[in-house]
Amino acid sequence: MNPQPIIKTFRLAGFNLHHLFFKKLTLADYETVADTLSAYLYANEASLIQVYMAGSEKDEKTWNKACKQTFGEINWPLTRMNLSAKQPESSFCITCISGQTVKTLVGGGFISKIIETPDSRLGIVGASYPPVNEGSPLTENLVKGLLFTGCDTSHLLKAWIPTRVPTSENSTLKHPETETLLPSVVLPFDPTYKGEINHSLWALKSHHPEISIQRSTKQNAYVTFYSTIINHWESKNLMLSGSFSAGENKREQALDALGEQLLQQGFDWKHVVRGIIYCPTSADEKDLKELFKTRKIPLPSWLFVPGPTTRPEPQFWFDADFVLEKK
């Protein structure tokens, strides 16, 4: 049976974005997924700009091999969320863009994507480094990569940074100079893993006075998150990223706080177009899915990633995008 994607299309500051979710894959599926992706890109005159992968090191190598066979090269950022080799299935969220020309820069250890309209510029950066150590700030190299796109940290929408020993204090990143919080997800990675993994950044720079970007942070006993709101005459986008405790009562309180944030901005859980949530264990993944079902939070647009437990009090790490289309 050929794996078929769940597809979400939406607008972000005038850009046409597509999220393709492929779930419950095995190594034998990767060539078919790459061919399916190639056909989708051709049919929609779209370009691939980002791959989020939940899988093992072996999954990444097999996927890259399949992509090289289908596309001839790999010129997009890939961020792998670590799964144990014992996990038999992997999942993907693949992001594409249509309707605009995509400029690709490869060099200096970076893969960068630049998409520009008269009104705004979208910059995406991917780079490979060893997992950062506990407490490490956003590295200077990643900041340099962002500058190559014509953006800087003031334009940052989100960052995915793997770390060996995550803590509640570094579940979000701080600017290396100003110490201000940045929208980020600090991914827990196996502390014994020594290889390189891919970090990624997204940034949006407005050229138009009617495109506004508002940022805020919130932290309480249950949840820490960064909120970014992008207002455009075609759409309103809300991006949430952060972490919350895996304790049974605390996770419900965290979802209450996130739901309240959605309502305050005119959104609902049904407006999610992409959610990625990193769970401490497979049991936590199962329990959280059941909690989502009871709250009628749509599951198709979410990737649940079971990962290693690296803290005495494990946490969930999440990144979610919500969209309201304006008529």
Mean pLDDT value of segment 31-46: 96
List pLDDT tens digits, range 86-109.
677 899 999 999 999 999 988 777
List pLDDT tens digits, range 235-274.
999 999 888 887 777 888 999 999 999 999 999 999 999 9
Of 208, 223, 248, the one marking the end of a domain is 208
Weakest mean pLDDT among 44-48, 173-177, 206-210: 173-177
Exposure string over 253-288, b if 16+ CB within 10 A, otherwise e? bbbebbeebbeebebebebbbbbbbbbbeeebbeeb
Which residue range forms the structural domain that includes residue 25?
1-100
Please check whether residues 96 and 110 belong to one and the same domain: no
Please check whether residues 184 and 261 belong to one and the same domain: no
Weakest mean pLDDT among 13-22, 121-130, 151-160, 194-203: 194-203
Of 58, 82, 100, the one marking the end of a domain is 100
List pLDDT tens digits, range 221-244.
888 888 899 999 999 999 998 888
Please check whether residues 322 and 213 belong to one and the same domain: yes
Please check whether residues 228 and 201 belong to one and the same domain: no
Residue 181's pLDDT band (cuts 50, 70, 90): low
- Token output for 65: 């091999």
Please check whether residues 82 and 143 belong to one and the same domain: no
User: Which residues are within 8 A (CB) of 210 and not within 5 positions of it... i.e. 6 or more apart?
Assistant: 232, 233
What pTM was estimated for this model as a whole? 0.89
E strand segments, 175-222: 181-182, 185-188, 197-206, 212-219
Structurally, the chain folds into a number of domains equal to: 3
Alpha carbon 240 to chain centroid distance?
10
Residue 184: the pLDDT is 60
Please check whether residues 203 and 225 belong to one and the same domain: no
Please check whether residues 88 and 113 belong to one and the same domain: no
Continuous segment of H or E residues that includes residue 103: strand 102-107
Please check whether residues 107 and 91 belong to one and the same domain: no
Please check whether residues 162 and 240 belong to one and the same domain: no
What CATH number does the domain containing 52 carry?
A: 3.30.1330.10
Residue 293: the pLDDT is 94
pLDDT beyond 90 at 12: yes
Residue 168: the pLDDT is 42
